[in-house]
Amino acid sequence: MWRLFAWCAAFAVLGFLGFLVASDPAFFRLIRGSSPAAPASQPDTANGRAMFFAGGCASCHATEGQPDRLKLGGGHAMPTPFGTFHVPNLSPHPRDGIGNWNVDQFIVAMREGVSPEGRHYFPAFPFTSYQRMNAKDLADLFAFIRTLAPVEGRAKPHEIAFPFNIRRSLGGWKLLYLDGQPFRPDPMRSVAWNRGAYLVEGPGHCAECHSPRNPLGGIVQARRYGGGIEPDGKKTVPNITPHADGIGPWSKGEHASFLKTGETPGFLTVGGSMGSVIKNMAELSDADRAAMAEYLMTLPPVAGKPVARR
């Protein structure tokens, strides 16, 4: 009996130690590889501004209850099946925001979902898409954020139920859903198509909302972009694939115009969270919006909830 107990205890200790190792951000970096360092070149804040709006930073991180989308004090509450996340301060405030971060810490946070203190971020922060971004764009984005006004104040702590509040368990989640790979252009496609693919799959993180998720919160790849459920579980997010149920009836020009105005070909105007996305997309160049539309029109068609046309 005592020998059996000793073996069980030994296996339990080994299992716990294995969990600690496998859930450590350093282990993920060993398996997937380290994020690239920031380039030595001078950052381009104009490009950083474009990445800021392509990435939708203001939609989540703007200070609640005021109209200035460049005041990044956070505080937005994001209800999900796992609990309520309170979006943090992203302003360059040295105590309450990211004012004391360096650019390489920012790149690691964006691509690996790891804080400067070495803690996993919850995937309500869409680092699974931001991992596609290259180091230069991330460095430029960081430089742009540092030009904004510091905002004092911190968001409330997340309200996450056990066991989802165990951050170390996210190490295993990342091994399933974070591959650590940056975007790689398709040499068989045009420059515009590749630009659109980069913006949609990387900073735009369109799949994060427009795809269904499994019980672990991972995107169901077979139905990627086929429509999903908003994090609060109350509303659906439409299909944006070129299926008849999605944007199939739209032309590339109509889609590019929609990304600028929020008006569908049937003269309906979107609201809610997509209205905020359109405000971001309207800040991009016409060429970038056209590139995004070109890429989206070539996605594999998936049957799903239709986008309203009339």
Strand partners, 79: 84
Residues 38 and 143 in one domain: yes
At 165-212, the pLDDT tens digits run 888 788 888 989 999 999 999 999 999 999 999 999 999 999 999 999
Residues 45 and 137 in one domain: yes
Is residue 1 in a domain? no
Structure tokens at 245: 């149920």
Amino acid (one-letter) located at 164: F
At 92-129, the pLDDT tens digits run 999 999 999 999 999 999 999 999 999 999 999 999 99
132: which residues sit within 8 A by CB, 6+ positions away?
A: 181, 182, 183, 198, 201, 202
Residues 256 and 282 in one domain: yes
- The number of distinct structural domains making up the chain is 2
Domain end position, chosen among 177, 210, 244:
177
pTM of this structure = 0.88
Is residue 57 in a domain? yes
CB atoms inside a 10 Å sphere around CB 20:
12
The segments of the chain whose pLDDT lies below 70 read 1-34, 232-233, 267-268, 304-310
Residues 120 and 37 in one domain: yes
Nearest to 82 by CA among 273, 216, 207, 228: 216
Residues 34 and 170 in one domain: yes
Question: How much is the pLDDT for 169?
Answer: 85
Residues 127 and 171 in one domain: yes
Q: How far is CA 168 from CA 84, 89, 118, 216, 267, in A?
A: 18, 23, 11, 15, 47
Residues 149 and 201 in one domain: no
Reduced to 3 states (helix: H, G, I; strand: E, B; else coil), residue 213 is strand
Question: How much is the pLDDT for 227?
Answer: 87
Domain end position, chosen among 150, 177, 204:
177
275: which residues sit within 8 A by CB, 6+ positions away?
A: 262
Is residue 14 in a domain? no
Burial environment of residue 210 by CB neighbours within 10 A (0 to 12, 13 to 18, 19 or more) = buried
Residues 49 and 162 in one domain: yes
Residues 83 and 222 in one domain: no
Is residue 12 in a domain? no
Is residue 197 in a domain? yes
Domain with 131, as residue range(s), is 28-177
Q: What is the DSSP string of 83-111?
A: EEEEPPP-SS-TTTSSTT--HHHHHHHHH
Is residue 251 in a domain? yes
How many helices (DSSP H) and strands (DSSP E) are in the chain?
13, 5
Is residue 7 in a domain? no
Question: How much is the pLDDT for 309?
Answer: 34
Residues 241 and 134 in one domain: no
Is residue 8 in a domain? no
Residues 173 and 196 in one domain: no
Residues 54 and 168 in one domain: yes
Question: How much is the pLDDT for 109?
Answer: 96
